[in-house]
């Protein structure tokens, strides 16, 4: 009874962080310890969610992708070669699943004049909506011109926030201390691209 209580109080990943934590949790999950998988889901679901949303998925579709990714991990639980690289595996799987799901989505319908007339008055005025649409278009044009590395970094850090830097560092194979400076450079480049886009409009 004492041993069981101790095991419950002090899981094998106690005191670990980052890749070592994920590796220990994965090994525990493989041995049937549900707490290991629960800890992985709690720590890494925000990362998977942000990757899905970063691919342009709506909230409901992103939730489906998150569930699919965790089911994929369960099916590969015994065969994952590099437990320490779990965060990277989840990012890659989430990206692939998001692209697959995105390919099935019907293209958005254009807003016709007839449809615009039926828009309730509580929504933004057409002029404001047009400005917002143009702003969003410029942002995504500028974003698409960034390097793949910058796009990945901004998707994860802008949405996940500083609390997830250690997970982002593992997922992108970057030193944690370099994430902030690189993020700043990427944002600076994006602002410059936005200025160019705005000036040429």
How many whole angstroms from its chain centre is CA 158? 10
pLDDT at residue 158 in the model: 67
pLDDT at residue 76 in the model: 86
pLDDT at residue 6 in the model: 41
In a 13 Å sphere around the CA of 67, the CA atoms on its Cβ side amount to 7
Tell me the C-alpha to C-alpha distance, in Å, between residue 181 and each of 35, 153, 188.
35, 11, 11
Query: Is the distance from CB of 54 to CB of 78 less than 8 angstroms?
Result: no
pLDDT at residue 125 in the model: 54
pLDDT at residue 69 in the model: 92
Query: Is the distance from CB of 140 to CB of 151 less than 8 angstroms?
Result: no
Provide the 8-state DSSP code for 123.
S
pLDDT at residue 85 in the model: 81
Task: Report the distance separating Cα 177 and Cα 170, nearest Å.
Answer: 12
Average pLDDT of each block of 10 consecutive residues along the chain (201 residues)? 49 81 89 89 88 85 92 87 84 89 60 45 54 74 84 72 65 83 90 74 41
What is the reported pTM? 0.56
Task: Report the distance separating Cα 193 and Cα 170, nearest Å.
Answer: 28
State both tokens at 127.
């002029």
Provide the 8-state DSSP code for 90.
H
pLDDT at residue 65 in the model: 92
112 SS3 class: coil
Task: Report the distance separating Cα 192 and Cα 53, nearest Å.
Answer: 25
Task: Report the distance separating Cα 87 and Cα 44, nearest Å.
Answer: 7
Degrees, nearest 5: CA angle 95-99-102 = 135
């Amino acid at each position: 009874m004492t041993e069981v209580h101790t095991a419950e109080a002090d899981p094998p990943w106690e005191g670990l962080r980052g890749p070592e934590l994920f590796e220990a949790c994965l090994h525990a999950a493989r041995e049937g310890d549900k707490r290991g998988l629960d800890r992985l889901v709690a720590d890494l679901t925000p990362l998977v969610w942000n990757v899905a949303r970063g691919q342009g998925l709506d909230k409901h579709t992103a939730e489906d992708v998150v569930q699919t990714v965790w089911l994929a991990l369960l099916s590969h639980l015994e065969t994952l070669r590099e437990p320490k690289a779990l965060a990277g595996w989840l990012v890659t799987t989430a990206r692939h699943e998001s692209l697959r799901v995105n390919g099935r989505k019907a293209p958005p319908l254009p807003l016709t004049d007839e449809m615009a007339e039926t828009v309730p008055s509580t929504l933004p005025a057409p002029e404001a909506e047009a400005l917002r649409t143009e702003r969003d278009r410029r942002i995504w044009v500028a974003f698409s011109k960034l390097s793949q590395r910058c796009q990945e970094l901004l998707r994860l850090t802008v949405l996940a926030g500083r609390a997830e830097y250690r997970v982002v560092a593992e997922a992108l194979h970057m030193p944690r201390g370099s994430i902030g400076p690189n993020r700043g450079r990427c944002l600076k480049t994006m602002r410059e691209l936005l200025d160019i886009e705005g000036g040429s409009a």
